[in-house]
Every structure is written in C-alpha cells, then in structure tokens.
Structure 1
Amino acid sequence: MSRIDPTEFVQALDGQSSLKFPNERQQSHFELGVTMAVHKWEELNVAVDNSWGGPNSADKRDWISGIVIDLFEEKIVDVQLVEETLLYAMLDEFDVHVDNDSALEIANMIIKFYQKAQLNDFSDIDILYERWQIRQQNRQAQKVKVEDDPENPSSDEEDDEEHEHYHEDQHIDDSMEVDNGPVVDDDGFTLVQTKKGNRRR
C-alpha cells in the first residue's frame, strides 16, 4: 500500500460555503461512499458484531457515517480530521482504542471518494456497494434456521400428539369387550360374552 498523506485535503470551490455538492447525484453517491467506507472498517465491524456499543451498535455505526458526512459541511476537510473523527467515535461509542492505521486508511478512502465524485467518477463507490450487497446476501443465506428441540416439542406438535393419543385411546376403548350381563337371543338362548365372540349356552 502506498504511503498515505494525512495532510491531503479537499476544499470547497470558490463561491461555495461548504464541501457539500450542489449536484444531488454527486452528493448522494459521495454519502453512499462514506457509508460503504465506514462499513468496510473491520475494527468497527468487530465492535458492532460483538455489541460492544450495546444493543444499538449497528445504529451507532450508521451514526458514525453521518458525523463523517457532516464534516463536509465545512469548507476544508483533510485526511487527518476524518481519521480523528473515526477514532474518537470508536472510543466514545464502543470504548475501543484503535492503535493501528485502519482508521487512516478509511479516512483516506473517503477523501479519495470525494475527489472522484467531483469528477463524476463513481466507479469505486459502485464497486464497494456491490461487494457490500453480496456480503449482505451471503450473510442472510448463512442464517441457519433453529430446528425445534425434540426434547421440547412445540405446542403444535404437542397438540398433534395429544390428538393422535386421543384417537388411539378411543380405538382401544371401542375394541374392548364390556360385560353388560347375560344376553338372550331370539330363540331364548343365553349368550355368553367371550373375547372370541358370542356363544350360545
């Protein structure tokens, strides 16, 4: 990787009060670029995945993207300012001190995205966005459906089993011989109730 110059900066054009693009297409692509760069920051992703910022960790990552975008309301922004903003946000929101150059790399990427957006070149942003979409699809596909515990069946399964047991018990009850006393047939013979059937006596 080539050496990053932390003093590299972007400056608003003459007559403009901020670095915000007057062209909506440029501004929306740049904001997407910032969001994708922040999502690319591995140290932040680890913090979010482990909920180091609490249950709203994912929202805090989006908030970080927002405060970086807000930096460009000023007339001059350099790589170092973006890097410091990322580091302070990580420390404040996730209680994580990043001691490598990962924030510097993300900050440099954001400045490059701005410079290219000025030239209406959104190719790098689009590529990063496409890769992010693929990662999201893969993550969704990898979600494993939790199977029902056979030791603790669902209520539906219990209802089905009770229903089956009811019919089995009913079938057993219907097939059992019940002794209701002597039975006399039409010829006057007394029938004896046995398991094998009725016999004359």
Structure 2
Amino acid sequence: MAEQQPQQQPLTILLFARGVLALLDLWPALTIAVAEQWGGTDSAAKKTWLASILIDEFETRAPLLPVTDTNSVPTVDPNSANDPPLDIDEVGDLLHQIMSDEFDANLEDGSIDIVATDLVKLWKDLLNPLYDPQVVVDNLEKQASEVRRKGINAQVGAGGAESQSEGEDSDADEDVEMDEAPQLVDSREPKERQEPVVDDDGFTLVQKKGGRR
C-alpha cells in the first residue's frame, strides 16, 4: 500500500490559477475555438480572460485564511474542500455563457460538463490532505504541455484530415474511373489483321471477312 503523502502547503489561489490554465489548455473545443478564431482575432486573449473569470469567481467566493504577512498570497480555508465556492452546475453555466457570448459557440459535445467537473475536482484535490497540491498542478501542467506539443501536429492533421481524406476519396474515385476504362478496352479481343493477297499478275484479291454470311 502506497504511503499517503500529507499536504505540504495550503491551497493558494496561485496554484489554483495554474491548474485552471492547464485544464483550459486540455479542453479540445476551446483549443479549436481559439485556433479557428471563433471569437475573432483576439480569441487567444478571450481564453486568458475566461481563465481570469473562473479564478476570480472561485477566489471571491472562497473563505480565505487571514493574511499575516504583506508578502503572502491568499490562502484558502481548507474547510472549503467539502463546500467549493462554485458547484459543477454554476461552473457549467458560466462556461456555456462565455463560450456562447465570446466565441459564438453552442457546444453540445458534453465537454463543458466535463471541464466544469474537472475544475471543481481541482479545487477539492488541492485541499485534500492526502495530496500534495504542487504535485497535482505539476501533473496537470505536464499533461497540458504534452498536448500543446502534440497539438500542433494533431491540429494540422485534424484540420487537414478532413480535406486530406476528401482529397484521398476524390483521388480514389478518379483512380477507379481511370482503371475501369482501360479494363473495358482490354477486355475486347484484338482482331487479327489480314494481310492482302496478291496474285501472280500483281492484282490484290478481295478477302471475305470472317463471321459474315
């Protein structure tokens, strides 16, 4: 049985913010919306703004521990692990509204519910005494980094996949048509050419064509 790791430090808003950014990077629908500029030329800025809205909503509603040092960052009361500042439905409604208003996207793929669940889970995991919050965020950031690294090729592949597959289908159809025509020609038996018959006086004799009566 693996040894349980005690929490090394209380949840800070900074850690939660890093986790939110990572989760948004792991959201395929949002990645496509930004890449395709569904929200206009400032789509990337809108993604950052979306992250700030989510972070602010959690931070402003979360119970914070008293700050004893002016250099300290806001620290969340661990008791909010069992009662997150926003529930899944509230986060989902917020994501639906922003994706619709800012990206003109009415997502029906179920991804908003998944992201909302992951965001609330992130909050709980960062406050779970069995987890190291730094490790939780590091793992998410590693996943996001890997997706971004592969995402360029994947996106180009996905973006070109449809056109490429269409092109391949089109080429395949052309190949079939090109192959069929010669087959029809080749299936015909070549006719033997009859050489003219010349008699002793140099006159060409007319030959009867076979098959006719």
- TM-score band by shorter chain is 0.5 to 0.7
What is the TM-score normalised by the length of structure 1?
Answer: 0.54
Instruction: Answer yes or no: is the 8 Å Cα contact 2:39–2:102 preserved in 1.
Output: yes
* Residue identity matched to 1:94: F
Q: CA 1:24/1:59 → structure 2, altered by over 3 Å: closer, same or farther?
A: farther
Q: Distance in 1 between matches of 2:151 and 2:124?
A: 32
Going from structure 1 to structure 2, the CA distance change for 1:141 and 1:88 (only over 3 Å counts) comes to closer
Distance 2:30 2:153 in 1: 23
**What is the alpha-carbon distance in structure 2 between the residues aligned to residue 55 and residue 24 of structure 1?**
39
Partner Cα distance (2:149, 2:10) in 1: 28
Deviation at 1:102, TM superposition (A): 0.7
Paired residue for 2:25, among 36, 39, 57? 39
Aligned-residue Cα RMSD (Å) equals 2.6
Distance 1:132 1:31, change over 3 A: same
Shift of 1:132: 1.8
Equivalent residue number for residue 136 of structure 1 = 148
Q: What is the DSSP-based 3-state SS (H/G/I as helix, E as strand, rest coil) of the residue aligned with 2:107? A: coil
TM-score (norm 2): 0.51
Superposition deviation, residue 91 in structure 1:
0.4
How many Å separate the matches in 2 of 1:131 and 1:77? Answer: 25
Structure number with the bigger relative contact order (C-alpha 8 A, sep ≥ 6) is 2
Unaligned runs of 5+ in 1: 1-22, 143-201
Q: Which has the higher helix share?
A: 2
In the aligned structure 1, how far is the partner of 2:95 from the partner of 2:146? Answer: 25
SS in 2 for 1:133: helix
- Among the aligned pairs, what percent are the same residue? 27
In structure 1, distance between residues paired with 2:103 and 2:153:
28
Q: Answer whether contact 1:26 1:118 (CA < 8 A) is retained.
A: no
After superposition, the C-alpha distances for 1:78-135 in whole angstroms (9 at most, x for unaligned) are 1111111111000011111012321111111111111111135333432220122233
Change (3 A) 1:138 1:42: closer
Aligned residue pairs, count: 122
Equivalent position of 2:50 in the other structure: 64
Confirm whether residue 108 of structure 1 aligns to residue 120 of structure 2.
Answer: no
Tell whether 2:103 aligns with 1:91.
no
Query: If you compute each CA radius of gyration, which structure gives the higher value, 1 or 2?
Result: 1
Secondary structure of the structure 1 residue equivalent to 2:86: strand
